[in-house]
Amino acid sequence: MTDAALLEVTDLSTHFFTRAGVVKAVDGVSFSLRRGEVMGLVGESGSGKSVTGFSIIGLIDPPGRVAGGSVKLEGRELTGLLQDELRALRGKTVSMVFQDPLMTLNPVLTIGEQIRLALEAHRKITATEARRRAIEGLAQVRIPDPEATVDFYPHQLSGGMRQRVAIAIALLHGPKLIICDEPTTALDVSIQAEILAEMKELVAELGTALIWISHDLATVASIAQHVAVMRLGKIVEEGPMLDVLTRPQHPYTRALLDALPSRTEPGTYLLRGEVPDAAPPPRLTAAKAEPAGDEAAPYFVLDDVSKRFETRTGSLRALAEKLGLAKPAVSVLAVDSVSLTVPRGEALGLVGESGSGKSTLGRMAAGIYAPSAGTVRLSGQPVMSTGETPRKLTTRVQTIFQDPFASLDPRMRIGDSISEGPRAHGLVDRAQTDAYVRDWLGAVGLDPAVAGRYPHQFSGGQRQRVAIARALAMQPDLVICDEPVASLDVSIQAQILNLLMRLRSELGLTLIFISHDLSVVRHLCERVAVMYRGRIVEEGPAAEVYDRPRHDYTKRLLAAVPVLPAAAS
């Protein structure tokens, strides 16, 4: 122990005493942190990294509690302190920033009120003084026009601005340590890059120490001097950032790094050595055959499609608008005259930040939304009918969504979820259903015996496999993947990407792969289209777009992606 140590965590254990038994979320963790030092705490979900952060300031909800070990802050033991004594430290000496500022800030209080509450927690303060401090605090985290922002509600700010407000609150009392729990995970890459840069500056300026908890090795690499890798409640490897990330000693650290698409040759399988899954069942054709389509026509075409979303208005309001008494309701042009052609068998990546219109475009391609203008055609045949209530005309296009927990019916056995579509469209009859479902479960790497289970009985990665089986059991030719790996851990993400690559080559699928993660798209797709504000600003072969971006936006986007230090060979 050096006398400069700010935080000394020794053999910390936090256990959750549940009915099913004791869960050792944090199981003997030790590390120390010097003043002004930035430490990255890396791990996958369930590794105990967040619980470690909460344990330090005694914010563990029952049935969990700190079961053993010691946490010393400036030499003072924190475990065993009374709640009031801990409260006096929280926000003042140690503060926290969380993942999603939309969830952490109170939606019904103004920014100013929330800052005032945080100020009042540690000292008496008048309303005018609180307001002045709030404006100062907002200015410190580089929020433009803090005098106006202080009276805003959280929903009136963008995601990046909201996170800045949360950081401003964390900085109010000049803490010695800030614990950041996935602070940039919910943000777009360009916003993430800004916040990372600002955090680095602030920390250097104020001499605050930082514990940066994240699942993302690359963001940690760009801010931390020191990294600890956690797995199953234990720190498996710890050391200076460059050493850990370029010369990993522990096999788990190595596996985490190998699972990253950015560190592997595009198009190759990640994390080699996996057991191959069963082959998918043979192609079936529906009882009622669809029109074959024109083989000579370009395979999949989005022809000048646009989508405008209107806010619904009442009849009186509509009348007032007609008479010019009210301003017309706001409409959003989510996709603005986009044309794309995808040849058979190609994987096209669609990248862009939130609000760029990539998901809306994907949904029009999938026949979920009817375009406001333009058409979508597969082999020359329209994907949707026109008229008052447009209907999807083909089963040859299917979609895999981001969140399988939201897209699978929670009250339906997964076997029924998978067979529902094929049965309805006459791909299989009742007698064949069970075998068909089992074949598909095997093909996506699940035990065929799980067909009778419900979605909540699966992990996130397994649920995404079910969702893939459900989409592919419809025997599509074209699959739209909308952020299919965005909510998964890197090792699970690697498995799902491998699965998609394998099934794509075995089934000869054409893919449209929508993602905010540029490295995943680079790995999976031959061609990339970059979307910005509803338009495609750049399109071309993946290697060319990534290595020689032409459009300014693409350049900015690529520059914002945090990069891992190259591995030492």
Partner 1 sequence: MLTHVLERILQALAVMLVMSALVFIGVYAIGNPIDVLIGPDVSQDIRLETIARYGLDKPLWEQYFTFLGRVLHGDFGRSFVFGMPVLELILSRLPATLELTIAAVVGAALIGVPAGIYAGYRPDSALAKTIMAISILGFSVPTFWIGLVLIMTFAVELQILPAGGRGDTAALLGVEWSFLTANGLSHMLLPAANLAFFKLALMTRLARAGTREVMLSDTVKFARAAGLSEWTVLRRHVLRLISIPLVTVFGLEFASTLAFAVVTETIFSWPGIGKLIIDSIQSLDRPVMVAYLMLVAFVFIMINFLVDLAYFALDPRLRKGRG
Q: Which of 103, 204, 279, 424 binds partner 1 (CB under 8 A)?
A: 103
Q: Report the nearest approach of partner 1 to the CB of residue 125 (Å).
A: 13
Q: Does 127 bind partner 1 (CB under 8 A)?
A: no
Q: Does 223 bind partner 1 (CB under 8 A)?
A: no
Q: Does 100 bind partner 1 (CB under 8 A)?
A: yes
Q: Give the residue from 540, 89, 81, 556 showing the smallest Cα distance to 340.
A: 540
Q: Report the nearest approach of partner 1 to the CB of residue 312 (Å).
A: 12
Q: Check residue 177 and report its DSSP letter.
A: E
Q: Which of 218, 320, 450, 507 binds partner 1 (CB under 8 A)?
A: 320
Q: Which stretch binds partner 1 (CB under 8 A): 31-39, 105-113, 335-343, 444-452?
A: 105-113
Q: How far apart are CA 352 and CA 529, in angstroms?
A: 9
Residue with smaller CB distance to partner 1, 120 or 310: 120
Q: How far apart are CA 204 and CA 37, in angstroms?
A: 9
Q: Does 125 bind partner 1 (CB under 8 A)?
A: no
Q: Report the nearest approach of partner 1 to the CB of residue 405 (Å).
A: 18
Residue with smaller CB distance to partner 1, 166 or 227: 166
The DSSP secondary structure of 443-483, one letter per residue, reads HTT--GGGGGS-GGGS-HHHHHHHHHHHHHTT--SEEEEES
Q: Does 336 bind partner 1 (CB under 8 A)?
A: no
Cβ neighbours of 155 (radius 10 Å): 10
Strand ordering across the sheet containing 21-34? 21-34, 5-18, 64-73, 76-77
Q: Which of 15, 49, 90, 438 binds partner 1 (CB under 8 A)?
A: 90
Q: Report helix, strand and coil shares of the chain as percent, to nearest 5.
A: 35, 25, 40
Strand ordering across the sheet containing 347-351? 397-400, 478-482, 510-515, 347-351, 527-532, 535-541
CB 481 within 8 A of CB 514: yes
CB 187 within 8 A of CB 219: no
**Subset of 400-439 contacting partner 1 (CB under 8 A):** none
Q: Which stretch binds partner 1 (CB under 8 A): 99-107, 193-201, 245-253, 256-264?
A: 99-107
Q: Which stretch binds partner 1 (CB under 8 A): 2-10, 113-121, 135-143, 529-537?
A: 113-121
Chain-centre distance for alpha carbon 18: 29
Q: Which of 47, 95, 394, 519 binds partner 1 (CB under 8 A)?
A: 95
Q: Which of 153, 269, 405, 454 binds partner 1 (CB under 8 A)?
A: 153
Q: Does 273 bind partner 1 (CB under 8 A)?
A: no
Residue with smaller CB distance to partner 1, 166 or 397: 166
Q: Check residue 520 and report its DSSP letter.
A: H
Residue with smaller CB distance to partner 1, 60 or 469: 60
Q: Give the residue from 525, 530, 535, 526 showing the smallest Cα distance to 561.
A: 530
Q: How far apart are CA 148 and CA 157, in angstroms?
A: 11
Please name the residue ranges forming H helices in 92-216: 101-104, 111-120, 127-140, 146-149, 159-171, 189-206
Q: Which of 232, 326, 333, 486 binds partner 1 (CB under 8 A)?
A: 326
Residue 315 CB contacts under 8 Å (≥ 6 apart), including other chains: none
Q: Does 108 bind partner 1 (CB under 8 A)?
A: yes
Query: Do the bridges between strand 373-378 and strand 347-351 make them parallel or antiparallel, or are there none, so unpaired?
Result: unpaired
Q: Which of 91, 367, 476, 484 binds partner 1 (CB under 8 A)?
A: 91
Q: Which of 18, 45, 106, 385 binds partner 1 (CB under 8 A)?
A: 106
**Subset of 56-75 contacting partner 1 (CB under 8 A):** 57, 59, 61-62
SS3 510: strand
Chain-centre distance for alpha carbon 124: 40
Q: Does 141 bind partner 1 (CB under 8 A)?
A: no
Q: Which stretch binds partner 1 (CB under 8 A): 127-135, 299-307, 314-322, 440-448?
A: 314-322
Q: Which of 11, 74, 85, 120 binds partner 1 (CB under 8 A)?
A: 120
Q: How far apart are CA 135 and CA 149, in angstroms?
A: 8
Q: Does 310 bind partner 1 (CB under 8 A)?
A: no
**Subset of 163-192 contacting partner 1 (CB under 8 A):** 166, 169-170, 172-173
**CA distance readout (Å), 557 to 352, 402, 532, 544:** 8, 22, 10, 15
**Subset of 471-530 contacting partner 1 (CB under 8 A):** none
Residue with smaller CB distance to partner 1, 173 or 425: 173
Q: Does 314 bind partner 1 (CB under 8 A)?
A: yes
- Under the rule (CB under 8 A), what is the footprint of partner 1? 57, 59, 61-62, 83, 87-92, 95-96, 98-100, 103-110, 117-118, 120-122, 152-153, 155-157, 166, 169-170, 172-173, 314-317, 320, 326
